[in-house]
């Protein structure tokens, strides 16, 4: 099990759908989040992409020196960049970060935004382009280890003697991730990528996706790993967590929700349609599965659900997804800096040992925590595993 966090390059806030509680997202703030995630033991961070975001490649590159172990999941955009340029960017980043790059293949789901980027392709054609793009990108990187070039002529893309002089650190290339719910998307995933991502749907729906992808991949002699993208609202009690969920929406008005839902309805993304269907544009009945809350998706595109509850409940829900075959969990919460700490401190100790081993182990002795009344040290207590904690 690998746990990732999120760099909010499209903005951050204490509340959704309103400027109240909004937070300026500048480089200093993103650096704070990245350093916190690195120190707390997160596997890596996802950087979003699109017109509403700061560029993920430049942002991630600026955070390499601020971190030591943290991996960066950065977007590849077929049609927006060429596959050969993307291969050079990939190997440069992978070398400069010493193998800390992951790639997220993003085809896009908003035709209006895509046209603004110069991409005039319908839904089906975008996936055809993405398939050829991924093949070219992958072969250029793979052959770079032997100093070989690669030529390709497809229906959408072509290259002639494409070559990299500097191979990536990761062999044969940094892992390629991808998420999509349509039939063309599933075919692309089964054929071209290493890890398939889903947004946070109820476990039964996630299981159905994994079963379908596993069968498709197996028919091609391939095996995929799986990941899920969720928000999280964890507090020390279930009551406090659900109150925090309600407070997250307390300042958003119905007109804002209606406008956001109208925009989502214009998109051709099947995944976005599935997210919107979970909440139906209504504040009512937002718990769509035990402790799975669809309130985020009322005003936020993409991942629209959150796990809500106390640490034990959230950990149990995470394990339910893990039991379905999910290896990679990408979480976020509002505001992202504070929630990165809260989630790690409350939930990490309840997750499998592999995650706990990622935590920093400071070589410190003496009192831990705040000193009470200048000279009184609070006693250490044993946790449920027999380890001493303050």
145-195 pLDDT, tens digit per residue, is 999 999 999 999 999 999 999 999 999 999 999 998 889 999 999 999 999
Q: If you count DSSP H runs as helices and E runs as strands, how many of each does the chain have, helices first?
A: 13, 17
Would you list the domain boundaries of the chain? 2-364
Confidence of residue 358 (pLDDT cuts 50, 70, 90): low
Confidence of residue 372 (pLDDT cuts 50, 70, 90): low
Give residue-wise pLDDT tens across range 243-253: 999 999 999 99
Task: Name the CATH code of domain 2-364 (choices 3.90.190.20, 3.30.930.10, 3.40.50.720, 3.20.20.30).
Answer: 3.20.20.30
The C-alpha atoms of residue 276 and residue 273 are separated, in whole angstroms, by 5
What distances in angstroms separate CA 299 from CA 48, 57, 291, 294, one per listed residue?
Answer: 16, 26, 19, 10
Compute the mean pLDDT over every residue in the chain, rounded to the nearest whole number: 91
The pLDDT value recorded for residue 210 is 96
Please say if the pLDDT value at position 387 is more than 90: no
364 phi-psi bin (left φ>0, alpha ψ -120 to 50, beta other): beta
Give residue-wise pLDDT tens across range 108-136: 878 888 888 888 888 889 989 999 999 99
Confidence of residue 364 (pLDDT cuts 50, 70, 90): low
**Residue 187: CB atoms within 10 Å:** 16
- Angle, helices 123-144 vs 83-96, to 10°: value is 50
The pLDDT value recorded for residue 301 is 86
């Amino acid at each position: 099990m690998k746990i990732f966090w999120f760099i909010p390059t499209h903005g951050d806030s204490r509340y959704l759908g309103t400027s109240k509680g909004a937070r300026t997202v500048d480089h200093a703030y993103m650096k704070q989040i990245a350093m916190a995630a690195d120190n707390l033991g997160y596997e890596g961070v996802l950087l979003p992409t699109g017109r509403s975001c700061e560029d993920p490649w430049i942002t991630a590159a600026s955070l390499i020196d601020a971190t030591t172990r943290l991996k960066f999941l950065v977007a590849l955009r077929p049609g927006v960049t060429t596959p050969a340029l993307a291969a050079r960017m990939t190997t440069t980043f992978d070398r400069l970060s010493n193998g800390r790059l992951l790639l997220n293949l993003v085809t896009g789901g908003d035709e209006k935004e895509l046209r603004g980027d110069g991409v005039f392709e319908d839904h089906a054609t975008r996936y055809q382009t993405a398939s050829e793009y991924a093949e070219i990108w992958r072969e250029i990187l793979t052959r770079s280890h032997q100093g070989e070039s690669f030529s390709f002529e497809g229906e959408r893309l072509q290259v002639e003697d494409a070559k990299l002089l500097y191979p990536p650190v990761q062999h044969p290339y940094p892992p390629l991730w991808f998420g999509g719910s349509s039939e063309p998307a599933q075919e692309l995933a089964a054929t071209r990528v290493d890890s398939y991502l889903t947004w946070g749907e109820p476990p039964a729906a996630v299981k159905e996706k994994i079963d379908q992808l596993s069968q498709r991949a197996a028919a091609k002699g391939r095996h995929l790993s799986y990941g899920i993208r969720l928000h999280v609202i964890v507090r020390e009690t279930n009551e406090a967590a659900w109150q925090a969920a309600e407070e997250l929406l307390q300042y958003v008005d119905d007109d804002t929700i209606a406008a956001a839902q109208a925009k989502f309805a214009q998109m051709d993304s099947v995944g976005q349609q599935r997210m919107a269907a979970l909440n139906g544009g209504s504040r009512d009945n937002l718990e769509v599965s035990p402790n799975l809350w669809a309130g985020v998706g009322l005003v936020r595109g993409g991942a629209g659900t959150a796990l809500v509850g106390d640490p034990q409940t959230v950990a149990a829900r995470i394990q339910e997804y893990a039991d379905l075959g999910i290896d990679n969990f990408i979480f976020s919460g509002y505001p992202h800096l504070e929630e990165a700490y809260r989630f790690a401190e409350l939930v990490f100790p309840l997750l499998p040992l592999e995650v706990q081993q990622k935590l920093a182990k400071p070589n410190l002795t003496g009192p831990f925590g705040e000193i009470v009344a200048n000279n009184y040290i609070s006693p250490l207590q044993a946790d449920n595993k027999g380890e001493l904690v303050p």
